[in-house]
Amino acid sequence: MPERVTEGGGAAARRPGTRLAGFGLLAAALVALPHFLSFSQKEIAVFLVINVLLVVSYRLLTLTGEWSLGHVVIMGVGGYASAIFSKALGVPVPLAMLAGAITAAAVAFVLAFPLFRMKGFYFLIGSFAAGEVIRLLWKRFRIPFGGPKGLKLIPSVPDLELGPITIDFFEPVSYYYLCLIVVSISVFILYRIERSRIGLTFHAIHWQDHLAESVGVSTWRYRTLAFVIASFFAGLSGALLAHYIGTVNPNRFDVGEMVFVLIWAIVGGTATIYGPVLGVVVLTIINEVVLRQLGFDQMRPLFYGAILIASILFLPQGLESLVGKARDAWARRGE
């Protein structure tokens, strides 16, 4: 069954040696990466790693067939909660981050009661409305959310003393490594969840919800579970973001940002776990490096929109389908 879930999977990918070597290369590249970047590109790399967690967690929700428009607000819930815990209540930052993620999961659990009475388009609109309500509450209530200007001076991750070495997480490179570790572990957990019995049930609910119910699966319970898990990791990504940039405000988590997550997921494809990652990485490189270098600053949304339209019209299966094709071509080489 898992083989059918992750489409393709040619002979090369299944050989454990090749796969291990691939992961080793990837890890080495990711560790070496920041040393080849300019300062502003290092910052982009930090945001990119955080966004990878955001979009991969989003994909877990889409496994059950539901597309939310509130995921970025849930990310914001994690950021706001972590900021409030650490700033107002004096909780140590790492614990506050975890508490922020748990808060995001708890909010998602409460929202699941009204939202999962809906499906499909209604869920899309409902999640959007619920997210907007949360965002407007941040905007309206100066205490404790800081109003339209949001919260500032959020404590950063404290320095880590390892014998003679002190790691200062104010440095983008250090923070990049911290995020890389947190995000790698999170993505691995999300991957294991998808491959577990629970993940298979998510797939079953997506493709055959009535059949799944008829064999005794509570679709409501599993949809809620997917939503809560996805929200936990979205909240974690929000907390990572908040303690890096030191500020959160309602506009940072508006529907415009949500559109980007949707674009990453759709352009990358959501059939595999690496699809959305491909989407966010490729589009961030195009957006931040290529278009910025070319100097089209004002026109960037236009290109972004055009890429989105072109990818839906001409590559409906996403970038990940190219990977599958390339792998098949590689497996058939020399035939």
* CB closer to other proteins out of 140 and 332: 140
Q: d(Cα 177, Cα 1) in Å, to the nearest integer?
A: 35
User: Strand pairing partners for 160?
Assistant: 167
Residue 133 found at the interface with other proteins (CB under 8 A): yes
**Counting Cβ atoms within 10 Å, is residue 197 exposed (0-12), middle (13-18) or buried (19+)?**
exposed
For residue 61, the minimal CB distance to other proteins (Å) is: 14
Residue 214 found at the interface with other proteins (CB under 8 A): no
Q: How many CB atoms lie within 10 A of CB 207?
A: 9
Residue 110 found at the interface with other proteins (CB under 8 A): no
* CB closer to other proteins out of 185 and 309: 309
Which residues, other chains included, contact 38 with Cβ-Cβ below 8 Å and sequence gap of 6+?
A: none
The values of phi and psi at residue 116, to 5°, are -85, 15
Residue 109 found at the interface with other proteins (CB under 8 A): no
Q: How big is the site for other proteins, counted in residues (CB under 8 A)?
A: 40
Q: d(Cα 200, Cα 205) in Å, to the nearest integer?
A: 9
Residue 139 found at the interface with other proteins (CB under 8 A): yes
- Residues 56-95, interacting with other proteins (CB under 8 A): 67
- Residues 36-55, interacting with other proteins (CB under 8 A): none
Q: d(Cα 104, Cα 53) in Å, to the nearest integer?
A: 14
**Counting Cβ atoms within 10 Å, is residue 298 exposed (0-12), middle (13-18) or buried (19+)?**
exposed
For residue 128, the minimal CB distance to other proteins (Å) is: 7
**One of 20, 92, 95, 122 touching other proteins (CB under 8 A):** 122
Q: What is the DSSP letter of 152?
A: -
Q: d(Cα 70, Cα 235) in Å, to the nearest integer?
A: 12
For residue 219, the minimal CB distance to other proteins (Å) is: 16
Q: Do the beta carbons of residue 318 and residue 266 sit within 8 Å?
A: yes
For residue 263, the minimal CB distance to other proteins (Å) is: 8
Residue 137 found at the interface with other proteins (CB under 8 A): yes
Q: d(Cα 87, Cα 84) in Å, to the nearest integer?
A: 5
**One of 11, 21, 95, 136 touching other proteins (CB under 8 A):** 136
Residue 290 found at the interface with other proteins (CB under 8 A): no
Judged by DSSP in three states, 155 sits in coil
Sign of CA dihedral 185, 9, 58, 153: positive
**One of 140, 142, 149, 332 touching other proteins (CB under 8 A):** 140
- Residues 240-269, interacting with other proteins (CB under 8 A): 255-256, 259, 262-263, 266
**One of 37, 94, 109, 132 touching other proteins (CB under 8 A):** 132
Site residues for other proteins per CB under 8 A: 67, 114, 117-122, 124-126, 128-130, 132-133, 136-137, 139-140, 255-256, 259, 262-263, 266, 298-302, 304-309, 312-313, 316
